[in-house]
Amino acid sequence: MAAPSFDDRDGFIWFDGKLVDWRAAGIHVLTHGLHYGSCVFEGERVYNGKVFKLREHSQRLLDSARILGFEVPFSVEQIDQATLDTIKANNIVDGYVRPVAWRGSEMMGVAAQSSRIRVAIATWSWPSYWSPEARMRGIRLNMSEWKRPHPETAPTNAKAAGLYMICTMSKHKAEGDGYEDSLMLDWRGQVAEATGANIFFVYGNELHTPLPDCFLNGITRQTVIDLARARGIKVVERAIMPEEMINAAECFLTGTAAEVTPVREIGTYTFTPGEITRQLIADYDALVRS
């Protein structure tokens, strides 16, 4: 049976300062955020009723909005509390949270300084993707035709909706060709990230990951780096060319949705999920449920 559409569910969404019925949380078709991409968002996970790194996510939402030139009309503390209220109203134990802020429909055109800034928070149940056995098999990625843009051509350090258009296109192509995801290079031809997750490689006993200079330095990425260093694993952040993947023994993705997901194949390159990946999965799972 197919899951219900996201516009037709029971529950509550926090919308501009109050909880409203899920089906009543609508916007006008001439909303600026829909037409011109003036929209930022977050993705958060709830484990045992607690949001992992809630403050960091709420702060990034506000920071992303400022990069796009608007102010979220609520403080980080108010966004934190609204998130907790929304989770409680929907009785979420293990789930996903989507805060979003965008320019409204008061002005229609490229310039929209007088548009009202709208804010909403939705949450829904989302148990773990994988069994331990299924996770360790690893996923397959193709190589995307699209590249992460130069930071002088797009607000690459904001979690902005418009930046995900090429991610959707890349992931649709990958799934159509029988893969689970797609690896994106940057404008220089260097390894960047997957469509919604950062990427790591194991070389010897070291963990290598691309420098986040044109894509998000993910909150899960930062967490996994800290976990690796706590284990005494050397972490190297550097430019990685795609041909270097031939020498990597292990590979995994990190993200709010992905958590720590092993990769067994990227195009013609293959990897064997191993001990470092397994250890970091265990450490991350223990941390988010602590």
Q: Which residues are catalytic?
A: 159
Quote the tokens at residue 234.
Answer: 């050397």
Sign of CA dihedral 231, 232, 237, 241: negative
Give one word for 109, left, alpha or beta, with left for phi > 0 and alpha for psi -120 to 50.
Answer: left
Amino acid at 7: D
| Residue 17 backbone class (left: φ over 0; alpha: ψ -120 to 50; beta: rest) | left
Beta-bridge partners for 198: 254
Closest CA to 271 of 83, 90, 141: 141
> What are the structure tokens assigned to 53, written together?
């790194």
